[in-house]
Every structure is written in structure tokens, then in C-alpha cells.
Amino acid sequence: MNDGWKYAVAGALAGAALSIAIIFASAAAGILPVQLSTPSRDAAVKGYLTAHPEILIEMTDKLQEQQAAEETRARENAVAKTGMAAFFDPKVAFVTGPKDAKTTLVEFFDYNCPYCRASIPAVKKFYEAHKNDARFAFIEFPIKGENSTEAAKAAIAARRQPEKYLAFHFALMNEHELVTPELVFAVAKKTGLDVAKLKADMNDPAINAEIDAAHELARKAGVDGTPTFIINGKVRPGAIEPGMLEKLAKG
């Protein structure tokens, strides 16, 4: 959060409830008497907050933390209600790894999402370390327009050449420009996919049905942005750094 936004929210928090809380805290510290008339109270609060703006900043941060925790709990409840098996359905995800793995990782992503791209080093490192003892579900979740949808269609079609999918996926995610159909096919060729087959498979109506199924799964699970990670049932939205998945996997 930038400081300007913090101060804007902080100003909005200077309502009655906050005023009362600060007054009682001040009184306890011997700064103010407990009983004040309304004009005196307002003046005292204004003066105290002017002298100590960090209080509102801290409260803003705390409120944000609480809100984020509540949203995470709601998402995890939705994931539990949906059932983990739904995320490992080959009709909505590229699935790899042993079926009886104790560690599971699901990622919802969009090929034009900068935060997804920023997370790729962490995802790839975790995959390379655990591809034989963890189960992975990579779910195309295009939310950034037509180019993203076309890229998702290509990736889903690439699942039909399963030995090439991950090389294609990681290469496309490592691109730093807008992912267009032209770029998709260039990366497909570079990573060894049969491009003619890929293009033909992209025209299969089942591809669009899989995208629709992924969006419906996201809706049920409370996933509304990319990237969203679900590791061992715990939901972690947003970009991640190397080592974070290991930490989350260990609980």
C-alpha cells in the first residue's frame, strides 16, 4: 500500500468508535480526563491524532490484515466445500505427479498476468524439487482479455501433447511482452510442439468447454484473481517469491 492511500484511509477512520478508543487510551495514560464534552472531545482527538498520526496508520494496517485473514478463511472454506478432487480433474487442469502425494499444489493463472510471470521462478523451482513426490494442477484461468483466452486455448490444446506441455507453459510464462497468438505459436515451435496439431486442436469446442469449466470451478472456490495458489488446501493469492511454497507446504 502506498503512503498516500494509507493517509486517506486513516482520515476516514477518525470516526466515533475510533475517537472513543483513543480517548480512553489517552485517559489511561494520564493525558486526558475520561469525561469530556463533545466539543472538547473532538478537539482533543484532533490534537492527539495530529500529534500521533502513526496510530491511524497502524490501525489501517491492522484492519487490512484482519480483512485479508477473513478473505483467506472464506476462500479456504470454499475450497474445502468444493473438494480437492475437483482441482485435479483433467478436464480443467494439466495434472502431474503421484496420485497419493501428501503435498498438492494448484495454480490458477493467466499468461498475460505480470504477477503470474513474477511467480514462475518460485513455481518452477518447487516443481523441479517435488515433481516426483507432489501432485500439481496447472489451471488456465484467462481473465485479461482475448489474447489471454487464445493463449489459454493453446495451452489446453498443448495438454494433448502432454510430454511438451510444461516446457511450453514455463517458456510462455517467461515471456515479458504481451502474449499474442503469434507469440504463442512461436513459443510452441521453439518448445517442440506440433504446431499444426496444436492449431487444429484449438478449434475443438471441447477446449472452450474446459475454459468455461475452469471459470466455474474458480467461482465455486472463491478464486477471483491470478495467480492464486492452493497448497495442501491453503489458499495463497498473489505473487510469490522463491522459498514461499516450501514454507507453505510445511505448514
- The three cell numbers of residue 174 are 517467461
Q: State the pLDDT at residue 14.
A: 47
Of 38-42, 88-92, 109-113, 187-191, where does mean pLDDT reach its minimum? 38-42
pLDDT at 100 over 90: yes
Q: Can you tell me whether residue 112 is helix, strand or coil?
A: coil
Over range 34-41, report the average pLDDT: 63
State which CATH number among 3.40.30.10, 3.30.1780.10, 3.40.50.1970, 3.30.2010.10 fits the domain covering 84-249: 3.40.30.10
Sign of CA dihedral 156, 157, 160, 165: negative
Q: Tell me the pLDDT band of 129, cut-offs 50, 70 and 90.
A: very high
CA distances from 4 to 1, 10, 57, 84, 239 (A): 8, 10, 11, 41, 23
Cβ–Cβ < 8 Å for 125, 157: no
Give me the helix-helix angle, 205-221 and 54-82, nearest 10°. 120
92, exposed or middle or buried, with CB in 10 Å at 0-12, 13-18, 19+?
Answer: buried
Please state the pTM of the whole predicted model. 0.76
Annotated domain spans of the chain: 3-75, 84-249
pLDDT at 136 over 80: yes
| Mean pLDDT estimate for the chain | 87
- The three cell numbers of residue 223 are 478464486
pLDDT at 79 over 70: yes
197-237 per-position pLDDT tens digit: 999 999 999 999 999 999 999 999 999 999 999 999 999 99
